[in-house]
């Protein structure tokens, strides 16, 4: 088997690429696919006749360059989008809420949309019935400030 592998390094590089691709599908971090790109570059180096040590150098250099230069650009493009694409609690930040129980820095209750949240104020006490703005979500607690959203 080792004799066959020594003559067919392309199979190793292809296997490495596929393994990194599967790991990338599980993590979705755009890190392992950059390593997979390095493995494909090493595969190309093998096809053009490079020695195994040179294939390893090509793998390392291409992987490093892709992680340093390609990944940040790709991550930037993946994260940009309009505010209506926000999900979960990120969508609540900046929304208006109605105070159900008096809210202080120690706690209280607010209604955001149709849900009742535990809340605390950024300063002072806010009476029941007043409108507030959600400034951030801290765990399962909405941090609110007096006033309506901008």
104, 110 Cβ separation under 8 angstroms: no
Look at residue 148 in the predicted model and tell me its pLDDT.
Answer: 67
pLDDT in tens, 105-137: 989 999 998 899 999 998 889 999 999 999 999
Q: For residue 28, give the DSSP letter.
A: -
- CATH architecture designation of domain 88-146: Beta Barrel (2.40)
For residue 116, which of 100, 130, 104 has the smallest C-alpha distance? 100
**What residue segments make up the domains of the chain, in order of their start?**
2-79, 88-146
pTM over 0.85: no
pLDDT at 113: 85
DSSP line for 42-73: HHHHHHTT--HHHHHHHHHHHHHHIIIIIHHH
Tokens 């609110």: give the residue.
144
Assess contact for 55 and 46: CB atoms under 8 A: yes
Question: pLDDT tens digits, residue range 11-70?
Answer: 989 999 999 999 999 998 899 999 999 999 999 999 999 998 999 999 999 999 999 999
Q: 102 Cβ partners below 8 Å, 6+ apart?
A: 108, 125, 126, 127, 128
> Per residue in 18-43, is it b (16+ CB within 10 Å) or e — as a string?
eebeeebeeeeebbbbbbbbbbbbbb
DSSP letter for 126, please: B
Strand ranges, E, within 8-149: 96-101, 109-112, 115-121, 131-138, 141-146
């Amino acid at each position: 088997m080792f004799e066959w592998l020594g003559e067919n390094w392309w199979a190793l590089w292809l296997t490495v690429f596929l393994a990194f691709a599967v790991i990338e599908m599980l993590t979705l971090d755009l890190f392992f696919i950059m390593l997979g790109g390095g493995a494909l570059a090493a595969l190309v180096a093998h096809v053009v006749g490079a020695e195994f040590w040179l294939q390893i150098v090509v793998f390392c250099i291409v992987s490093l360059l892709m992680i340093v230069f390609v990944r940040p650009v790709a991550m930037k493009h993946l994260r940009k989008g309009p505010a209506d694409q926000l999900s979960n609690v990120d969508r609540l930040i900046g929304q208006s809420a109605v105070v159900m129980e008096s809210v202080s820095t120690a706690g209280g209750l607010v209604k955001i949309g149709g849900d009742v949240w535990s809340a605390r104020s950024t300063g002072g006490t806010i009476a029941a019935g007043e409108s507030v703005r959600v400034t951030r979500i801290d765990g399962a607690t909405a941090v609110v400030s007096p006033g309506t959203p901008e």
